[in-house]
Amino acid sequence: MKNEHQKLVTIGGGSGQFALLSGLRDLDGIKITAVVSMVDSGGSTGRLRDELGILPPGDVLKCILALSPHRNIARVLFLKRFVQDRRLQGHNAGNMLLTILSQYTGSFPAGVQALSEILDAKGTILPVTTDRATLVAELTGGKHVYGETAIDMPRGTQREKIRNVFLVPHHSDSISVYPPVIEAINSADYVIIGPGDLFTSIIPNIIVPGVKEALQKSSAKILYTVNIMTKFGETHNFTGIDFVTKLEECIGRQVDGVIFNTKKPHKKLLAQYLKQKAEFVEIDDKDECWKNRKIYASNMLDISGSIVRHNSRKLASLVQEIISQNND
């Protein structure tokens, strides 16, 4: 690897970005900027957004914790939920602190920077936009589903496929990208998109005006980390190429590489996921459909707690290997 730091921009939200950043944090020779979706509408985050009119803090908090060298103890303290006070019930300490810092400093990005400073976060965390908005999904039958939580957790056992998602601004006619996001993409050596729910964590970043255009113009290598499992209501029956082509449709350009887990969970765990209509995502790297996209395949499976996710250390190790290959 070259002596200068490689600039990595990650784009996503939720648990997927937490897993990626938790591993990247421990790599040498990289400079991390995490771009985070701002449409989370559930739980403590949703209540704070609705009651106080702030941007949703939950996914940003996960990124700060992931990049902190004090991550283990910080997660225990900052994710602890209040139980006694009626107004505080259900909120966690981290969301409340980030909310207070944002209000005191006068801006959400300043609050994020302040909490990052408290926890010595190794990297920069940027909200993709500072405009409040609601994510809306248009289904194939024409119905609209409002809010990230409603899209993420469909009711019943049947739902039409998502045709498109878009953002509805709360207090203005349009939504604009937070300018430092464009600056980070313009100067990046690598942009890593995902892992994360395609329609509720990934695409909500891409459809913020300015992000797609920056990715199209960027000289960075764009890598997409494909999810290990499909998700009912979002990516039901998706194959690996379905994930990639949908993302590319949103970006308007082809990705340079696809990061893919090869290890299949054991049958008992797969059966549990099948009850939720979720299936293992298969990729045949010999298939001609991949054309000149580079496939980076490895065993990155983590099934601790009977939850299928990417192993942070193995995912980061593969990213480091990719960077080394491209700098030889």
Question: What are the CA-CA distances from residue 16 to residues 2, 20, 82, 300 (Å)?
Answer: 28, 6, 25, 13
Per-residue pLDDT tens digits for 271-320: 999 999 999 998 887 778 888 899 999 999 999 999 999 999 999 999 99
Instruction: Tell me the per-residue pLDDT of 201-243, one tens digit each, with 9 for 90 and over.
Output: 999 999 999 999 999 999 999 999 999 999 998 899 999 999 9
CB atoms within 10 A of CB 317: 16
pLDDT (tens digit per residue) in 61-92: 999 999 999 988 888 888 888 777 777 777 78
Q: Is residue 308 within 8 Å of residue 271, measured between CB atoms?
A: no
For residue 112, what is the enclosing H or E element?
A: helix 108-118
Cα first-last separation, the chain = 7
pLDDT for residue 13 = 85
Kindly report the CA angle at 65 between 61 and 68, in degrees rounded to 5? 140
How far apart are alpha carbons 97 and 302 in whole angstroms?
Answer: 31
- CA dist., res. 201 & res. 216, Å (int): 20
The 10s digit of each residue's pLDDT in 100-126 is: 999 999 999 999 999 999 999 999 999
Report d(CA 78, CA 83) in Å as an integer: 14
Predicted TM-score (pTM) above 0.85:
yes
Q: Write the pLDDT tens digit of every residue in 121-177.
A: 999 999 999 998 889 999 988 899 988 888 877 665 657 889 999 999 887 778 999
Q: Pairing state of beta strands 257-261 and 221-225? A: parallel
Q: Copy the structure tokens of residue 148.
A: 């990230």
pLDDT at position 37 is 92
